[in-house]
Amino acid sequence: MQFVSTPLSDAHLATRDEKGEVVLYVRLSAPLSQRRVGVLARATTEVQRAMRLADQQGAPVDRVVVVGADRMVTAADADGRDEALQSLADLLTELAAAQVSVTWRTRAGIQGPVPAPLAEAFDAAQHHLTVEVGIPTLDRTMCRALEGPSAQDPKQRLRLASAASSRGVMTVALVDPLVPMLTDQASALNDLFEACADAGMHQVRVRYLVMTRGRAKRLAASLSSMHRALIRGVFADEEWRAPHPSGLGPQEAHKLLPSKLRKAGHHRVHLEADKHGLLVSVLDPVDEDAPVATTKRVSRPPKSPSKVPTGSMAPRPQLDLFSKSA
């Protein structure tokens, strides 16, 4: 793998969050090919320029969220990695020096000592920086099923969180996605939250699994038949919802976990987090009044009139979530 400094299109996105604050999302890298990764050129200058533009438009940025830097931490032997990692560290340091609230959102982990550029950035940024570490579960196999074969070991992610928190940086666990009937049970949550607290984390942010057809196919290939049946069952009769209009939510048809299950799961999260002194932020609160926009599914015509199902035997297309045609 090779890191290459280059301009990135659509590397910045400013939007208002649920609190009305203006958040500038910065994507620091993007794949250019199978072996080359583009790193946002002059990242600090580009972000400062985007912030000035937002200020001129009457919507000053309240917070910056940096994403897309995982490879810079994990690909230790890649060509150009040191320069890419320094770019991340410089961006975090400069934003903190300007007293801008910045969040680094990552699913990266470290095996040994924290890289020197990051250690220096943590020391310099401290209270202006939040490191949000994605860690959906302590089960490495489940992490790979949810995030792909390159998913980092949860223990390595906790080591990164510990390195940040020990230097005075606020650290947050992003438990996303939370998987119903599997990772949201009390014992699994207790183990995860205990590990997060031991790593110096102060808060957990949780969101339940949002099911898309693509994610269903990936899970079908990764989970056991029993786990597939569990996931299939809880999502089976939920309606397909339209893509999220803001661009920050799912960009394809998707299903949400039924409201009752989400409520019960959020309650368990609060109970288990309280045991370890962790604050909880729920990213997918239940909104009973939210409209449901469904997508139509085109069914194959029956081979003959005699085979048209009737009555209680009519097909239920919501149940084919893990079928080859889903």
Which DSSP letter does residue 241 get? B
Average pLDDT, the chain: 85
Identify which has the larger pLDDT, 321 or 229: 229
Report which residue type is found at 301: P
pLDDT band per the 50, 70, 90 thresholds, residue 9? confident
Task: Specify which of 1-15, 143-157, 181-195 reaches the highest per-range mean pLDDT.
Answer: 181-195
Q: Is 178 helix (H, G, I), strand (E, B) or coil?
A: strand
- 73-131 residue pLDDT tens: 998 889 999 999 999 999 999 999 899 999 999 999 999 899 999 999 999 987 899 99
- At 306 the pLDDT is 43
Sheet holding 203-208, edge to edge: 12-16, 22-27, 63-67, 101-106, 129-134, 170-178, 203-208, 279-282
What is the pLDDT, as a whole number, of residue 48?
Answer: 92
SS3 content of the chain, % helix, strand, coil (to 5): 40, 20, 40
Q: What is the pLDDT of residue 300?
A: 42
Check residue 247 and give its pLDDT. Answer: 57
CATH label, 2-211+258-289, candidates 1.10.460.10, 3.40.1010.20, 3.50.50.60, 3.20.20.70 = 3.20.20.70
**Residue 75, helix vs strand vs coil:** coil
Give the least confident one: 189-203, 234-248, 260-274, 297-311.
297-311
> So what's the pLDDT on residue 310?
44
Confidence at residue 304, expressed as pLDDT on a 0 to 100 scale = 45
- Report percent pLDDT > 70 for the chain: 87
- In terms of average pLDDT, the best of 7-11, 23-27, 215-219, 314-318 is 23-27
User: Which amino acid, one-letter code, is at 292?
Assistant: V
Contact 223, 145 (CB under 8 A): yes
pLDDT of 246 above 80:
no
Given a cut of 70, is residue 295 above it in pLDDT? no
Q: What is the pLDDT of residue 322?
A: 54
pLDDT at 296 over 50: no
The pairing of beta strand 211-212 with beta strand 2-6: unpaired
Poorest-confidence range of 68-77, 148-157, 192-201, 220-229? 220-229
Which of 83-97, 170-184, 299-313 shows the lowest per-residue confidence on average (mean pLDDT)?
A: 299-313
pLDDT band at 250 (very low <50, low <70, confident <90, very high): confident
Domain boundaries along the sequence of the chain: 2-211+258-289
pLDDT at 51 over 90: yes
The DSSP secondary structure of 102-115, one letter per residue, reads EEEEE----SSSPP
pLDDT in the model for residue 249: 67
pLDDT at site 244: 73
Instruction: Write the DSSP string, 112-168.
Output: SSPPHHHHHHHHHHGGGEEEEEE-S-S-HHHHHHHH-TTPPPHHHHHHHHHHHHTTT
What confidence category does residue 231 fall into, taking pLDDT thresholds of 50, 70 and 90? confident
| CB of 59 closer than 8 Å to CB of 14 | yes
